[in-house]
Amino acid sequence: MSPHLSTLQQALQQADLLWLALPAGYDQQALCQELIRRRPCRIWPAPAATDHLWLVPDLQALDEPAQETLLNALLTGLPSGAQTLVCANLHSPLEGRLRGAGLTPLRLGTARLAWGEAQLADWWAHESIPVERAAPWRSRLGHWPLAWRLWQQACQCDEPTEGLLQAWGLALLDPVLAQLPAPLPLALALQAHTPVLDHARLLQLANLSPGQWRVWRAQLCQAGWLLPQEDGDHWQPWIAELLGLWREQPELDWAPLSRWLAQWPLADIQALYPAQPLPQLALSLFSRIGLPCLELGQGAWLAEQLDRLPALWLRQQPALCLLQAWLTMELHRRSDLAEEYLQILQHQSLQPEEEASARLLHAMISFNFDHLQDAQQQLAELGEQLPKPLLAPYRLTQAMALLFCGQLTRARSQLDLLVSWADCQQQYHLKLAAWYRLAQLHYLQGDWQLAGRVIQTALEFVQQQDLKQDRLLDSFYRLQAEICLQRGEPDQADYWLGQGSALAAPLGDYWRLPYLAHQALCLIWRGPPQALADCLEQLEQQRFGQQYCRMWQFRVGYALALGYQQRGDQAALARLRQRTPWHEQLADLYDLQDNLLHAWLAQALDSPLPQPQLQWLIDTAERWQAHWLGQQARLLILLGQGTADPELWHPRLAWLAGRQTILPLLLAGPRVVAPLQGLSRWPQTSPSVLALVQQALDRLTQPLDSDSELPQGEELSQRQWQILRLIAQGLSNEQMARQLFVAPSTIKTHINHLYAKLGVRTRAEAQAVARQRLLGG
């Protein structure tokens, strides 16, 4: 059906004349013969018995003999109800012959294709249609005569009016849309949800010049689809509705439009993307713009669009299933769930680009768990010959590989380059990711001041670029809170954790683990004991309840070890040690952290590791420049030697004082009290070390709150609290006398008074009560 013939067809319906249509591929010569024999044709829509509906071809499509034959047949055999005939070309030479035979050709204009309010009301009255029956359809059918004629036909049929009207309307659209150049039909369908057509956006969508569009616009106006008004071209409401239905057909090929759309700025795509989900458009478009969306920090919008699509359908589409895996990894940061999506993809055929994307994602997931060698192999096989959207995450993953495999110098160089590159490309989410890894690198190196500066720079950049909803921010907040907790600043840590928890809350229970660990550290600093006990129980249950990234496992294990040491819970320490592996070979930082935690737990359980094993940890940490881990191993060697020599202890304490942290000393427990007291009296102790020593001694010797209470009026003196703590450590009277610089007889007197207040008679009973009262056991 030509656009012009379609216009005539609508005018005929308006004028109660012939119903004009031409199915594609119809044998026009056979049609002429059929009309000559005066055999009427039943056509769509099925006519009522009283109607005279004839199938008439486009006269211009026939050669002269065929036109002559058809014209003669019509002049001599018109149905009795017909009043006139319309020829396809108003300037055809046949027009004179038609007029001469008493037939008046109908000249058409846009104004004839729309009724006014009065005309519509008159037609309702003429057709005896009740107003209450027609009024609900008015907003949908508008003032278009063709739509109302079809509605009237549908109402006379046994089938539901809604379904028939939509089916007939789509049959009307298809021939016209088939003649429009791709991707103009799809562009029109996307704009159908707006009352007024946006010509500039349509030209951009359809990739048409203004001159090309003027030709097609004229035909759409002639067809009655568009109604020119002062404020622009308005859609016929029913046509807009039909286009909305048409664009949801599963067989539509959205690739031409999506290829063009993918070149636009993301803000334009978001403004144009339809409110109702279009699965085929989503498949074609999101497979192209998915990774760029993540790079630009727009993963939340992308996830929102995918959530509106059927979950089963998404899992059956490899491109979108892969995109969901990326979103799960980058937006929700759930390595475990991303791995589940990759397992689904194992049973589906992937394009080469999709295969490379899946392997890169697999490498990223491997770094978060215990498969670094596998991840490095995946990266090596991928190489640099990757599609452009994969280059940025590939380089970031390479830098992470260098970081976690102990090549911190190379990792820092690559992360610095990545920050600069991401800034030039305005990929701000990627820039934040590189900054976070840099801050993490400086933290492991023990340069906490530089780590803090990187965090501060990143947070200032977030304010400038209004990136406050980027969920990667909670990583910065948690790292800043961790530094505060190492320095004994729980109030500041609470502030940073509050900032991060609001971003992490939508991510689910998976992200409770690091926050629980930091909450436990806050409670270690300021109690109360029962709250700490509850927090430690939750932390242990969650840590061993599912698979987490190994960096978290070390941090959580460290917090548990501190908490159990504070509470004197030897059974829990033993349980934690049993679940903390010891690696005979150190392949990465994860292995080094596991071994370090294992060594701390062995020290707390009075079974310190041999010095050669600890020296091995030190050598590896220094070779990898993970100085923070190496200094803790050095502290463990001193504790194992049992020496209180200030000259040996001062360098270790000076390094800790430079970072203002005493948490390792709290983890060392009572065994570090004697060396600290020795340093407090050593004349060569530096002021910074002396301040750290005094802070640590205050924490290690002060009485802790306990749920049980002494008999009323039986409060302990400060000296009795000190002796009670030393009894809990298992020191003899002579050792206590040396530490407190008093005579053994004085210690014995204090112990007798202490036994009386505690209501015990033996040293074993005193130790049990001491641990209960002091350590909250």
Name the helix (H) or strand (E) containing 235.
strand 232-235
Q: What is the DSSP letter of 704?
A: P
Give mean pLDDT, residues 539-563: 81
CB-CB contact of 470 with 462 (8 Å) = yes
Grade residue 245 by pLDDT with cuts at 50, 70 and 90: confident
Strand partners, 226: 235
What is the C-alpha separation between 168 and 242, in angstroms, rounded? 10
Name the helix (H) or strand (E) containing 57.
none
For the entire predicted model, the pTM comes to 0.65
Give mean pLDDT, residues 468-493: 88
Highest mean pLDDT among 96-100, 346-350, 367-371, 652-656: 652-656
- Least confident segment among 6-10, 428-432, 654-658: 6-10
Grade residue 712 by pLDDT with cuts at 50, 70 and 90: very low
Number of H helices, E strands in the chain: 43, 2
| Separation in Å, CA 454 to CA 27, 332, 486, 637 | 76, 23, 18, 33
pLDDT, tens only, 268-290: 888 778 777 788 888 888 888 88
Which 3 state secondary structure label does DSSP give 406?
coil
CB-CB contact of 164 with 154 (8 Å) = yes
- Least confident segment among 19-23, 544-548, 599-603, 659-663: 19-23
Angle (CA) 522 523 528, round 5°? 150
What is the C-alpha separation between 747 and 751, in angstroms, rounded? 6
What's the pLDDT at 42? 34
What's the pLDDT at 63? 65
What's the pLDDT at 449? 92
Tokens of 328: 């799960």
Question: Phi and psi dihedrals of 460, rounded to 5?
Answer: -65, -40
Closest by CA position to 558, among listed 545, 543, 546: 543
What's the pLDDT at 112? 41
Other beta carbons within 10 angstroms of residue 535's beta carbon come to 21
- Least confident segment among 404-413, 465-474, 599-608: 465-474
Q: Which CATH architecture has domain 713-775?
A: Orthogonal Bundle (1.10)
Other beta carbons within 10 angstroms of residue 306's beta carbon come to 18
- pLDDT(188) > 60: yes
| Residue type at position 138 | R
Give mean pLDDT, residues 357-369: 81
Please, what is the average pLDDT of the chain? 78
pLDDT, tens only, 136-178: 998 888 887 778 888 888 888 888 888 888 888 888 888 888 8
The residue ranges of every structural domain in the chain are 3-108, 139-249, 288-399, 642-702, 713-775
| Residue type at position 442 | H
What's the pLDDT at 629? 93
Q: Which residue has the higher pLDDT, 49 or 570?
A: 570
- pLDDT(16) > 90: no
Highest mean pLDDT among 137-141, 498-502, 618-622, 721-725: 618-622
What's the pLDDT at 549? 73
CB-CB contact of 142 with 122 (8 Å) = no
- pLDDT(596) > 90: yes
pLDDT, tens only, 23-82: 334 344 454 454 444 333 333 333 333 333 344 444 555 566 766 776 676 666 554 444
Question: Phi and psi dihedrals of 228, rounded to 5?
Answer: -65, 130
* 3-state DSSP of 555-619: HHHHHHHHHHHHHCCHHHHHHHHHCCCCCCCCCCHHHHHHHHHHHHHHHHCCCCCCHHHHHHHHH
Q: Which residue has the higher pLDDT, 649 or 740?
A: 649
- pLDDT(444) > 70: yes
What's the pLDDT at 480? 93
- pLDDT(470) > 60: yes
| Separation in Å, CA 535 to CA 520, 528, 532, 676 | 6, 11, 5, 30
- pLDDT(421) > 80: yes
